[in-house]
Amino acid sequence: MSYVQGFLIPVPVAKKDAYRDMAATTAPFFMEYGATRIVETWGDNLPDGKTTDFRKAVKAEEGENVVFSWIVWPDKATADAAHEKIWSDPRMPEPDGPIPFDGKRMIYGGFVPIFDTDEG
């Protein structure tokens, strides 16, 4: 069964295009090292919750939106091995300036699917 890494990231609205460009630039490296799918989504309907919600989870500030993204791998071993290779690959471009989001407020984790319509 596959392995999924998920991310919630606060991104300034003014940096949406820069974030998308960064994702498009790095995605081929993830795919080369074994990812089978990468999805980056821009918050569209993020209702305020009474206890918590997507914006509160990443402490999104005024002028920021939330990106919800995930990477699908064949298995956890492939994901673990890929990350070291990706970030040490000399072809990986250096960012032009700071990354377009506050990485300290990013939430991420790895998940083992327990139900997936694509995997019967």
pTM, full prediction: 0.91
| Tens-place pLDDT, residues 16-66 | 999 999 999 999 999 999 999 999 999 999 999 999 999 999 999 999 999
Instruction: Give alpha helix (H) positions in the chain.
Output: 16-32, 54-57, 76-88
Q: Which residues pair with 107 in a beta bridge?
A: 8
Is 17 in a helix, a strand, or coil?
Answer: helix
Tell me: pLDDT of 97 over 80: no
- pLDDT at position 19: 96
- Other beta carbons less than 10 A from residue 86's beta carbon: 17
| HSE-CB of 38 using CA atoms within 13 angstroms | 16
- pLDDT category at 94 given cuts 50, 70, 90 is confident
Nearest to 70 by CA among 11, 17, 3: 3
**Higher per-residue confidence, 40 vs 84:** 40
